[in-house]
Amino acid sequence: MLLLGLTGSIATGKSTVSELLAAPPYNLPVVDADKVARQVVEPGTAGYEQIVSHFGPSTPDLLAPPTLENGGEKGHNGKGRPLNRPALGRAVFGAGKEADRKVLNGIVHPAVRREMYKQMIYAYFQGHWAVVLDVPLLFESGWEPLCGTIMVVAVRDAKIQMQRLRARDDHLTEEDARNRVASQWDVRDKAERCMRRGEKAGVVVWNDGDKEELRREIDKVMAVVKVNHPQWWAWALLLCPPLAATSGAWSYVRSWWIKRQWEHEKQMEKAKL
């Protein structure tokens, strides 16, 4: 089964591409890292209990105020009220809060990885030829070597990205939007890094036009992906676990080596400046 890593940058259209891949004619299962990150800290989960135990005493407003929508004082199913995410953010972001941020990451990140692995394994045993790993920070978070193919959703024109961001979040000033875009890797750099993997392992969906143009671009890119990863190969991997292990190991080593070469080249470029 192909692990198809999907990434991009803010306001480039990654979420739209994820929705299109989950719908006909592709019908691919999507493991969404952002959704999983919310699931693993819902009331009643181990992550929720750990967060409440550690941050509750120092953060009085850690839990959302009781309402009819969130189930009142005891929350839905008596598992507690949802986390007040802005309050949790204030508790871990800012000067002098590195230790608390490390604790939160130590609770959330392992739980997210475990749940994502569970969903991937479930898709594998269902016989899907591919599963989409929707990870916004795929390159930054270390998921890159696990992906047989990476798809980057990008725009060639940086102005389009800014326009879409401000249209989506109309409360942002131009400076706010610029700062949010600047806080992430330039999506054109991500596209370049992706294409370095070769046609079989890296594809870019250029999304400078409207949704119909995006559909055509996805069809073109997915035709390349499917030729290189046919359904019969997915069934062969499912029916022959040693073959699946060998294929997965080779893909991981190849991806790791490409990643290492890219990082080495960037270090060399910086050293010349």
Closest Cα partner for 11 from 221, 245, 168?
168
- Read off the DSSP letter of residue 83: B
Percent of the chain with pLDDT over 90: 45
Give mean pLDDT, residues 210-239. 90
CATH number of 34-125: 3.40.50.300
Q: Is the peptide bond before 25 cis (omega within 30 degrees of 0)?
A: yes
pLDDT (tens digit, 9 = 90+) per residue, 23-53? 999 999 999 999 999 999 999 899 999 999 9
**What pLDDT, on the 0 to 100 scale, is given for residue 273?**
62
Is the pTM of the predicted complex or chain greater than 0.75?
Answer: yes
Residues 6+ apart with CB under 8 A from 36: 112, 115, 116, 119
Q: How confident is the model at residue 203 (pLDDT cuts 50, 70, 90)?
A: very high
pLDDT band of 74, cuts 50, 70, 90 = low
Which is higher by pLDDT, 248 or 21? 21
Q: Which amino acid is at 52?
A: V
Query: Does 70 have pLDDT greater than 60?
Result: no
Please classify residue 132 by burial: count the beta carbons closer than 10 Å to its beta carbon, then call 0-12 exposed, 13-18 middle and 19+ buried. Answer: buried
Instruction: Give SS3 for 149.
Output: strand
Check residue 76 and give its pLDDT. Answer: 61
Confidence of residue 71 (pLDDT cuts 50, 70, 90): low
User: What are the pLDDT digits (tens) for 131-176?
Assistant: 999 998 898 888 899 999 999 999 999 889 888 988 888 887 888 8
For 1-29+129-273, the fitting CATH number among 3.40.50.300, 3.20.20.70, 3.40.50.970, 3.50.50.60 is: 3.40.50.300
Residue 124's nearest CA partner among 4, 245, 235 is: 235
> Strands 2-8, 130-134: parallel, antiparallel or unpaired by DSSP?
parallel
CATH code 3.40.50.300 region(s) in the chain: 1-29+129-273, 34-125
Q: Is the pLDDT of residue 79 over 90?
A: no
For 51-76, b where at least 16 C-beta lie within 10 A, e where not — what string? bbebbeeebeebbbeeeeebbeeebe
Answer whether 148's CB lies under 8 Å from 2's CB.
yes
Beta strand extents in 11-81 (DSSP E only): 30-32
Instruction: Give me the mean pLDDT over the 220-243 stretch.
Output: 88
Is-contact 237 185, C-beta < 8 A?
no
Higher-scoring residue by pLDDT: 66, 251: 251
Q: In what order do the strands lie in the sheet with 130-134?
A: 30-32, 130-134, 2-8, 149-154, 202-206
Alpha-carbon distance of 198 to 206, in angstroms, equals 17
What pLDDT does residue 261 have?
A: 87
